[in-house]
């Protein structure tokens, strides 16, 4: 079920593109569109649909690693396909559900659960919430800085500005507003919370991160999956 929800997020981007095209000209994809912009959107949709997608999200479920201040996820089946097997019963539903005829579940968890987005309002009162972020702000150039070998040797590895500059020397300048991902392979420890925290004998956690002195977050911080640890957007500082 959770994988379906993740797929909806990806599909939603395609729907936005396709929907905008329909609204602009209502022309089917197999006929010429009178609106140039609409035609371009159909072409973009076809291009996106032909590509391979890599899902960086984790399935959410009760018991997955989480901030210790949050309660665990709970699930409950509230509708089930079949009525009670006892045909003589007056009730048309199981006593632990609200009805029958289809399948539906109730999920209860905090907003910052599993793979998620942290809007500015998560930390600073008065700033934007998720619904106030334009979808186009979530479509960004991707840059992956691969430090998984360094992280394997040093669990406290910190991505420095020098390492970012080395990436630019090898691959070219990072585009303005890019989504920069730091690959550590820490995701291979998922969903073992103890391995993710990697505490020492004194209870101190050890895991890779980025240097706060070397980069600052832009107005819209974005948190993604622990599969690629510490994904964020960067603004480099000297």
CA distance to 36, 83, 91, 110, 128, per residue, from 88 (Å): 64, 11, 9, 41, 55
Contact in structure between 207 and 198 (CB atoms under 8 Å): yes
CA distance 215 to 153: 23
Distance of CA 123 to the CA centre of its chain: 18
**Active-site annotation holds for 122:** yes
Nearest-5° angle of CA 55, CA 60, CA 63? Answer: 140
Q: Give the helix ranges, DSSP H, for the chain.
A: 2-25, 36-49, 148-153, 161-171, 193-197
CA distance 35 to 237: 43
In angstroms, how far is the first alpha carbon of the chain from the final one? 45
Torsion sign across C-alpha atoms 221, 222, 225, 227: negative
Question: Catalytic residue among 58, 122, 148, 206, which?
Answer: 122
Q: Residue 180 belongs to what H/E stretch?
A: strand 179-183
Alpha-carbon distance of 93 to 97, in angstroms, equals 7
Instruction: Supply the residues annotated as catalytic.
Output: 122
């Amino acid at each position: 079920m959770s994988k379906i929800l993740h797929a909806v997020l990806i599909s939603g981007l395609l729907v936005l593109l396709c929907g905008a095209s329909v609204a602009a000209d209502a022309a089917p994809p197999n006929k010429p569109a009178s609106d140039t912009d609409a035609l371009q959107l159909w072409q973009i949709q076809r291009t996106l649909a032909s590509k391979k997608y890599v899902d960086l999200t984790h399935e959410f479920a009760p018991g997955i690693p989480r901030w210790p201040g949050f309660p665990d996820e709970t699930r409950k089946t509230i509708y089930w396909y079949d009525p009670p097997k006892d045909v003589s019963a007056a009730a048309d539903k199981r006593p632990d559900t609200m009805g029958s005829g289809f399948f539906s579940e109730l999920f209860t968890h905090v907003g910052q659960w599993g793979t998620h987005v942290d809007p500015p309002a998560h930390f600073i009162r008065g700033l934007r919430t998720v619904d106030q972020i334009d979808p186009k702000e979530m479509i960004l150039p991707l840059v992956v800085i691969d430090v998984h070998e360094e992280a394997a040797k040093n669990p406290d590895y910190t991505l420095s500005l020098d390492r970012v500059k080395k990436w630019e020397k090898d691959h070219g300048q990072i585009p303005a507003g890019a989504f920069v991902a730091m690959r550590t392979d820490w995701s291979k420890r998922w969903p073992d919370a103890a391995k993710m925290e990697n505490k020492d004998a004194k209870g101190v956690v050890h895991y890779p991160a980025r240097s706060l002195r070397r980069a600052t977050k832009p107005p819209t911080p974005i948190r993604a999956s622990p599969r690629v640890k510490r994904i964020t957007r960067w603004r480099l500082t000297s």
